[in-house]
Structure 1
């Protein structure tokens, strides 16, 4: 017979865990929607949804909460469950924060190349990092660790697209559209996001279709990432077998949470362009952001230039995914950039010319 007192204790613990996660959400005010300065006469507005102001400093705060809630309500996590993840950094930072809140142990498998700042944040929240030399080995190693300790593999790459309620419930898409209601173009022409798990593009893409908006979804992809090739060829097994420099986005394989059917356009962005874009962002707005934000911004500029060329007006929304302090020793370090063989100058010149003329050379 089942141990009824033990089952009741587990149910009470799960109920309180969900309360704690909901309380954290209630304490965290919605993130800001900044305006990027463009000439008023263009008739185009560019907004930056600033996800860096979450308690754990990135867009992944939303995902981590959703993944843990999903595991709780599906009966996969209880008192004493070890939480395991495969993450290049930001998701693990947020999951470590929530694991500590619930009194659970957390271990994440990360590539050895993960930035020092992210590793320190994971450890600050009580998490432990387990390193692999090959990023493609993360998934199997995380599964092995979870099985070995009887824990639960959160598996962001499989569950990101389903853990978040895309119909509303204050998800990121609903938040953006609510914040735009008083703007001159409240329904954006484009939403531009990058893909790390595919969950964010899936949420936005499903939401705009469900709400019957005319908004199009563009996904920007860095060098060595498989998402663009998988979308272009229609091959869900497409791989590059290579890791990228832009942490948090781009994967060597097409992840299970990537939903190509909700995407209207994909744009490949050189790594040097992503880094040049975050430096330009800091110079123009004082917002200090990570590399994935640069990928987003570069793609947004290209789409706005297309709108200008076509005589279109409207709004474009993209994301500040995380803060730049996490990359002080990489993307903002001239020696590191030079050591990677990257030349930012041509991309900086292209963006400066775009901001002066509206043209994308």
Structure 2
């Protein structure tokens, strides 16, 4: 047998145009069904290209000469919060998984900021948007969602938002984005994420590899991205997740129990949950603490004064946790850098956290915690 004969393909037993077998099959696609998908992805990617990276601010604290404090300012995104990144990722994730197509209504369960950002992106894509939120959500966030053409469905119990969002999605034939499940997987934790941005921006600083990054948990997705990136890049940085007072993340972490729940919803908008969300990944967290709500709001006020502009309550939780870590470092004679996030602007809470009457009615007296923080930052006894 010659070499050419040896490698010649075997002849087909029948001609393809006379294939006799009948199959159950769906109609062949026309080829144009992905045009909207391709255009939608282009729109979302172009939005990312137009958005410059957020600033990394250095907070001047002369009383901590060996410890540098940095704040990643996520409030400068087009929709005013950290959730701008998350919302874009969630929409891309849903589109690329085939769950969102032209005309698909978008539904989300949210405490406000994610819904604001998703409403913005839904409008860019020409899609209807519905947000299911606790009735306690700030009026400013509700107004922002409606500004972008979104519809708000308010429920009395924070624990009811999940079931109501799923039910609403079924009623309108929509796609429930479910940030609490998908936030940790919609973002690529290996590159092009907030963690990479932080470390890139820190490259030229005195302590370029932070000793700690402090990030509270709403879904847990951002903390998961940071924690995974730290491990992926073999970095010595540790991740601290401060939790809100009425939230189960800390209890779950300390008890190693993923099923713990609580009845009362968090009073710090954007963070803290009544159940352990699927996006919370405890094994990438190095340290947690439970921060009293009054301490979070004191941290919000103190940092706002030092920055000369208002930040939100979850940023106050982050800042209080950072100061607590800084105090431990100072007491141990350690030096290094600490990074946390400004999650959103305090302008969204003019009628709540920044309203003296509202604070009194809700039993918040932040003065004692404010004094402790100010003393610490001025070099007086440690926190």
SS at match of 1:329: coil
Q: Which residue does the alignment assign to 1:318? A: 340
- 1:230 corresponds to 2:224: no
Q: Which residue does the alignment assign to 2:81? A: 58
Query: Which of residues 160, 164, 172 in structure 1 aligns to 2:183?
Result: 160
Q: Is the 8 A contact 2:64 2:379 kept in 1?
A: no
SS at match of 2:311: coil
Query: Which of residues 211, 216, 236 in structure 2 aligns to 1:194?
Result: 216
Structure 2: which 5+ runs fail to align? 1-25
- 1:88 corresponds to 2:111: yes
Q: Which residue does the alignment assign to 1:242? A: 264
1:114 is displaced (CA, Å) by 0.5
Q: Is the 8 A contact 2:216 2:243 kept in 1?
A: yes
Query: Which of residues 41, 46, 71 in structure 2 aligns to 1:48?
Result: 71
Q: Is the 8 A contact 1:269 1:295 kept in 2?
A: yes
- 1:302 corresponds to 2:327: no
Query: Which of residues 329, 345, 355 in structure 1 aligns to 2:351?
Result: 329
Higher helix share: 1
- 1:4 corresponds to 2:25: no
Q: TM-score, normalised by structure 2?
A: 0.92
1:270 is displaced (CA, Å) by 1.0
- 1:357 corresponds to 2:357: no
SS at match of 2:34: helix
Query: Which of residues 117, 137, 151 in structure 1 aligns to 2:160?
Result: 137
Q: Where does structure 1 differ by over 6 angstroms across 4 or more consecutive aligned residues?
A: none
Q: TM-score, normalised by structure 1?
A: 0.97
1:359 is displaced (CA, Å) by 3.9
Equivalent-residue separation in structure 1 for 2:129 and 2:64 (angstroms): 51
SS at match of 2:141: helix
Task: Give 1 or 2 for the bigger CA radius of gyration.
Answer: 2
Structure 1: which 5+ runs fail to align? none
Cα gap change, 1:41 to 1:95, in 2 (>3 Å): closer
Q: What RMSD in Å do the two structures reach over aligned CA positions?
A: 1.0
Equivalent-residue separation in structure 1 for 2:33 and 2:295 (angstroms): 50
Cα gap change, 1:41 to 1:158, in 2 (>3 Å): closer
Size of the alignment, in residue pairs? 358
Q: Is the 8 A contact 2:214 2:341 kept in 1?
A: yes
Question: How is 1:171-186 mapped onto 2 (pairs within 5 angstroms)?
Answer: 171-186=193-208
Query: Which of residues 343, 364, 367 in structure 2 aligns to 1:345?
Result: 367
Equivalent-residue separation in structure 2 for 1:189 and 1:66 (angstroms): 28
Q: Is the 8 A contact 2:63 2:377 kept in 1?
A: no
Provide, for residues 63-108 of structure 1, a one-character-per-residue CA deviation record: whole Å limited to 9, x for no partner. Answer: 0000000011111110011110000100000000000000000001
Q: Which residue does the alignment assign to 1:120? A: 143
SS at match of 1:141: helix
